[in-house]
Structures are given as C-alpha cells and as structure tokens.
Chains A and B, each alone.
Chain A
Amino acid sequence: MTTTSPVADAPPLVQSRKRAGRWMGWAFVGPFMAVFLLVFVAPVLYAFYLSLFQNQMVGGDKFVGGANYLQALGDPQFWDSVIRVSVFLVVQVPIMLFLALFAALALDSGRLRASSFFRISVFLPYAVPAVVATLMWGFIYGPRFGLFGSINDFFGLDLAEPLSSSWILASIGNINTWEFTGYNMLIFYSALKVIPAELYEAANLDGAGTFRVIRSIKLPSIRGAIGIASIFSVIGSFQLFNEPNILKALAPNSISSYFTPNMYAYNLSFAGQQFNYAAAISIIMGVLTVIVAYVVQLSGSRKDA
C-alpha cells in the first residue's frame, strides 16, 4: 500500500480506498494466513524439500532427487501398510457409519425413552482420549487376565484372541468404532434436526410410513452430512496411528513397525534416523489421502446431481 497524504485530491483517494479495500480482506484473514503458512504450508514444503535428500550415518547428506519416491513406490512394506489401512477403511468405516446413522435415526424418531441419556452415553467414548481408550481396551483384550481371557477361561474355549495377528485389525476396528460412532451420530443427528417440519407434515398427509419417511426424506436430506462424515473417516483411517502404536506394547508380534503408513514413517524417522525417506512416504500418503477423499466426495456429489 502506498502512503497517501491526507491532502491528496479526490481521484487518487478513491483509488487508494479501492486498493485499501482489496487489502482489507487480506488484513482480516492475515492472522489466519500467517499461522496457516507457518504451521501447514511451510512444514509440507519443508518435508518435500527433505524428501529429495538422503542422510547416511556413514557419508552424511546428499541430494538424491526422486530416489526416495521411487524407493517408496517399490517398497513392499509401505504397500503392505497402505493395503492394511485400505482394508480397514473398507470394512470399519461402513460399519461405524451405519451404526451412527441407526443411532441418529433412533434419536430423531422421538420414540426413545431417556433419549438425552442415550445421546450422551453413545457420544461419551469420543470424549475419552484415544490413548486412554486404547489402554482400556488393551486390558479388556488381555489373553490371560483380561475380560476376553476370563470369558475364554469360563467357557473353556480358545475362541477369540483379540491380540493375535489374525484378529488385531478387527480389534483395532472395534476400538475405533466404539470411539467415533457417537461423534458421527452427532453429525447425522444435527443434520436431521434442520429438516423442515413441513416435509414431515406433507408426508404424513400423504400417508407415508416411518420407513418411507426415512428413505424419501431423512436420508436424502442428510446426504451432505454423510459425505462429510465419510471423508473424515477416510482421512482418519489413513492416519491410523495411536491405537496400533499403543497396542504394540501389548502385542509386539501382531503389530509390525510398518503396520500403518503413519507408523512406518514414524519408525523410519525416529528409530532409524531415515527422516528423508519418512518425509517421502508422508508426502505420498498425503497425496493418496487427498485422491481417495476426493473420489469419495465426487461419488457423493454425483448422487446429488
């Protein structure tokens, strides 16, 4: 912005006002942009910059261009982790969203007794920090003294071993479902609340039953909310980290150091000093997540059209 003296004549003043108006917008978003650049854009750019180098204990730093990316694309451990979170996504997210939708519709139906108690108790797990939740479930899953151990003992069975390698993904899915169903329920419920009452009245006059109302009014009206909940869940699945990382202490052989992409990047950089390769993996995962989230959004909006 130029320095405008108060004695300037009319036309420049108007112009400078116009210019000031243009800058005024930036002034309002300035604090946000500053923080956004500092804590979001800059780290991403820096991570990208890092990903172009290689650091060795013997030999130091050298520029390797896209070699880290090529290595990641051919790294079976990386793809193993990507496939694992994809399976998790395809199985756990629909179950969780379906449960959340069911709970939200039940709440909205107005036929529940003690509905506010129901609402808070379904939502409560979301308020439990993920670390605490995982530790708690870890105790429940314990093979000897945990709840599952006791059940197996009581029936003399050896059925479910939640911490064994064949069950561990389902066990983590269970923790996540427990944690986030209430949260998604609240998204759906608040979307249901804003549906105009006239629609229901009209449906009532037309003689539509409960399920017809759900199918023709409620579900179409909250499609946007379902889309958003799906995108959050997709991102959450790809970023799976806390739960497996904490359970690893209890089930070291079931959860590898490359169980999820985030764990792989974490272990590469913090146990293996491979910051550069970890940065490359993080960038690839970021891009993959954007693509998948975008596809989910597209498929959601196509239904809208």
Chain B
Amino acid sequence: MKNNHRFRRVATAALAASLMIGGLAACSGSGTTANAGAEGASAADIAKALDTETTLTVWGWAPQLEPIVEAFEAKYPKVHVNLENVGTGNAHYTKLQNAVKAGSGAPDVAQIEYNALPQFALSDSLVNLKDFGAEELKDNYTASTWGSVNLNGGVYALPQDSGPMAMFYRADVFEKHGISIPTTWDEYVEAGKKLHAADPKAYITSDTGDAGFTTSMIWQAGGKPYTLDGSTKVAVDLQDEGAKKWTGTWNQLLKNDLLSPVTSWSDEWYKGLSDGSIATLIIGAWMPANLESGAAGASGQWRVAPMPTYEKGAAATAENGGGGDAVLKQSKNKAAAYGFLQFANGPEGSKIHAANGGFPSTTADLQSEAFLNAENAYFGGQKINEVLVQASKDVVPGWSYLPFQTYANSIYSDTVGQAYGSKGDLNDGLKAWQDATAKYGQQQGFTVTTK
C-alpha cells in the first residue's frame, strides 16, 4: 500500500509537472516577436543556404516524409535533416503550440494539416512564404489546396497531400442486393434503406460523428460556417443553408438507424470494411492505401465513384483532411527551410509522396498519364485516380477553417456527438457546437458573431 501511495504521489506530481510545462509555455507568449520587415530571401540566397553546412529540424508524422528527407539529403549533402515524429494530429499540434508560446524549441519545418493551419498562421507563428516567392508556385497546386494555405493574403504552407472526397463502395454488396450505385444524396438514402432492409446487419455507411467529416459534408453542400475578417474577427454559423442541406439528408440516415454504430478507425470498423457490413465510405482520396492495409480481406470488392450530390449531375465535392508543410518563425535558417519545402512539396518530393501511397496536391502529378491510368488491383483493376483527380477539380471553392479549429473539433463529441448518440436532430447538435465554439472564441479574445 505504501507503494501505491507513492505511485499516486508521483502521478500527481507528473500531472502537475505537465501542467507546469504547459504553463511555462503559456507564460512567455510575448517571446515571439515578429522580425519586422521582409525576412524573405531570393532564389540565390536559398541556393546558397542549401550549399552551406546546416541542420534542419522537421516535425511530421506522414510516413512519406522519411523517403523525402532521404532524397533531399542525397541531393543537398551539406544540409542535415532531423526528422522527428512528435505525435500524430493533436499531439503534434500541442507540442508545436507549446514551443511557439515558449519562444524556443520549435522545429524549422512542421507538417500542418489544412484545418489546423489558421491557428498557427493567424497567431503569427509561421513565415509568410510570399516573402520567398511562393506566390509563383500557385499554378503548381490544385485550386482548393492553394486556397487552404492562402490565409489573409499570405501563403503559410506549401501543400503536400490533398483529400478530395469521393464515394468508396462495395461493388459486391450492391450487386448482391440489386441496388444501383447512388449518384445523389436522395438515392443514397434510398439505397441505405433498401440495403438495411435486405440485410439487417449491413449499413450504407458508418458514422458515429466526426468533426472533420461533418465540416467536409457542410463544405460540399455549399455551407460556409466559418468566416474570418482580419485575424481577430470570426463568424460562426452552423445553421446556414449548406449545413441545413446536409442535416436534411443525414438526419434521415440517423433517425432510421441506417448508420453503422461502429466508430471510425476502430478495429471493428476495419472488420466492417472487410466483411461488407459497411457498404460505402464518403472519405478523402487518401483512403485507398488505408483500405489496402486495413481491409486486405476485401481486395477486389471496393470501387470508387464520385461523391453523391444534392442535384443530379452538378458535381461537387470537398476536401477531407490533407495538409502541407510550413516554416516556423522561430527557425534560424529560414532560407534553407524554405529550400526544403521547395524540394519536399515541389515536383521531386511530390513524386516520392505519391509513390508511397499519398494523394498529391500538385497538378503535374494529378495530370500525369501514368498516375491517371494506373490500374489498382485492390479496386478490381479500376483506374481509381481518374475519379479521384476529377474530384480534386470539383471541390467547392471559398471554404475556410477557424483559427481555433483543433479545439472546436475536440468538443464536437460533446455537442453534435450527443445528437448522434441519442439519434436526435443534428441541427440541434450543430447549434450547440456553434455556441460552444463561439464561447471559446470569445474567451480567447476573438470578436465572434453567430447567427
């Protein structure tokens, strides 16, 4: 029992210590003073920096970063890259945010997803890449990914991967029950009803509520729930027409018990994807590699089709996930860091990225014949990239995320998730989410308006 007592004390201390570390970081927020004026560099400066003995630190978790770094070091032997995986998603952002607030300890380059980018860009933690001439690269990337890194007139990251949404479906399940592949959301709901009636264990899709999915669905429906005005004024409106359109469809699936109650990315989820009890997935174009590894048993059964739409024939989709790489203001060697971005997110890096299962954001790769015509054996030989590349062109423009999206997403399950749990009205959930998000924004000093 003594042992236990000591354990508790250590545990308390560890908790307190972790608070302390966070607190230390919190207290020195003013440490990162922006170096006023242009801190950019010309192409010659960048080339020179890449030919000087330097060490760059890169934080990221994308598996493609490793081969990219290897190739980079081979090309620029004088630059040494320390690639560190400090966590995935939120864990990574927490560490990054702490380092930014502490005023030291941040890497030179960090992987940042599109939905987290505003948080770092608008808090003045990232280098505006326009100063390095990034504006010229605009045409190299798809419009939607370029739009995602373009915030308040600055360019804060170079896109790496993208996730235009499409519908992944089980051809065998649809065939078995004689259901045609839905192209509109109304057909999708009908297909869901038919499928569940024919086989009570089968569901049209699984969804227990996911912030990224919800925002992408609202995006596709034409909603613009988050608008930014400068860096301190935001408007949150999860009751707009787009949001209503989505809930109009999704409420039907939810209330009629047509959604598999299995949580995404869980073991059960992969089993459902393998055995056909989850018949479709509306998800980003980066999914194929996950299906191949997670649901290997269903090889040959999955196909890809365009995302269903609200109006027949009017193609529309949204980005789901994806991100790029950014240069931190704290970096001591911004020119070399930008040089790394040019490589990793440019033609050379994106080829390596695509070859390692990533879905690119670079138009050259998306248009290449080899990429478009690649037949994927897992998908029964379908040329899935044709569908996915078309999706990348059909992304509805004009979307933006909040400068505190990561927190907003963390309280999603407290609000919208409750509507999912009780099979209630998603509109009520969205309203609660909107209010909780707005409240947090106000606490953080933003001027927040809601509908």
Q: With A50-B26, A57-B444 known to touch, is A39 a contact of B19 (CB < 8 Å)?
A: no
A residues 252-290 in Cβ contact with B at 8 Å: 252-258, 262, 265, 267, 269-276, 278-279, 282, 286
Which one, A139, A255, A270, contacts B267 given CB within 8 A?
A139
Is A267 in contact with B16, judged by CB distance below 8 angstroms? no
Q: With A57-B446, A58-B445 known to touch, is A39 a contact of B413 (CB < 8 Å)?
A: no
Stretch at the interface among A97-105, A140-148, A171-179, A201-209: A140-148
B residues 230-275 in Cβ contact with A at 8 Å: 231-232, 260-263, 265-268, 271-272
B28 to A, closest residue via Cβ: A61
Q: Does A60 contact B (CB under 8 A)?
A: yes
Q: Does B381 contact A (CB under 8 A)?
A: no
Stretch at the interface among A13-21, A40-48, A85-93, A213-221: A40-48
Cα A271 to Cα B232 in complex, Å, equals: 20
Which one, B12, B266, B410, contacts A250 given CB within 8 A?
B266
Interface flags, A209-252, vs B, CB<8A=1, else 0:
00000000000000000001100100110010000000011111
Stretch at the interface among B128-136, B212-220, B415-423: B415-423
Is B420 in contact with A253, judged by CB distance below 8 angstroms? yes
Which one, A144, A236, A254, contacts B421 given CB within 8 A?
A254
Cα A58 to Cα B25 in complex, Å, equals: 16
B232 to A, closest residue via Cβ: A58
Q: With A57-B444, A58-B232, A144-B271 known to touch, is A228 a contact of B421 (CB < 8 Å)?
A: no
Which one, A40, A143, A262, A276, contacts B9 given CB within 8 A?
A40
Q: Does A3 contact B (CB under 8 A)?
A: no
Cα A267 to Cα B413 in complex, Å, equals: 13
A251 to B, closest residue via Cβ: B263
Cα A143 to Cα B260 in complex, Å, equals: 10
A256 to B, closest residue via Cβ: B414
Q: With A61-B27, A144-B277 known to touch, is A249 a contact of B266 (CB < 8 Å)?
A: yes
A172 CB to nearest chain B CB (Å)? 16
A275 contacts across to B, CB distance below 8 A: 19, 22-23, 25-26
Q: With A58-B444, A253-B209, A271-B407 known to touch, is A183 a contact of B20 (CB < 8 Å)?
A: no
B354 CB to nearest chain A CB (Å)? 30
B11 CB to nearest chain A CB (Å)? 7
Q: With A232-B1, A232-B4, A282-B15 known to touch, is A253 a contact of B418 (CB < 8 Å)?
A: yes
A256 contacts across to B, CB distance below 8 A: 413-414, 417
Q: Does B97 contact A (CB under 8 A)?
A: yes
A126 to B, closest residue via Cβ: B4
Is B414 in contact with A55, judged by CB distance below 8 angstroms? no
B404 contacts across to A, CB distance below 8 A: 57, 272
Is A253 in contact with B22, judged by CB distance below 8 angstroms? no
Cα A189 to Cα B1 in complex, Å, equals: 12
A269 contacts across to B, CB distance below 8 A: 19, 22
Is B445 in contact with A57, judged by CB distance below 8 angstroms? yes
Q: Does B331 contact A (CB under 8 A)?
A: no
B residues 135-160 in Cβ contact with A at 8 Å: none
A235 contacts across to B, CB distance below 8 A: 8
A44 contacts across to B, CB distance below 8 A: 16
B54 contacts across to A, CB distance below 8 A: none
Q: Does B35 contact A (CB under 8 A)?
A: no
Q: Does B85 contact A (CB under 8 A)?
A: no
Q: Does B17 contact A (CB under 8 A)?
A: yes
Is B19 in contact with A55, judged by CB distance below 8 angstroms? no
Q: With A271-B90, A273-B26 known to touch, is A43 a contact of B268 (CB < 8 Å)?
A: no
Q: Does B299 contact A (CB under 8 A)?
A: no
The 4 closest A-B pairs by CB, nearest first: A43-B16, A58-B445, A253-B421, A56-B445
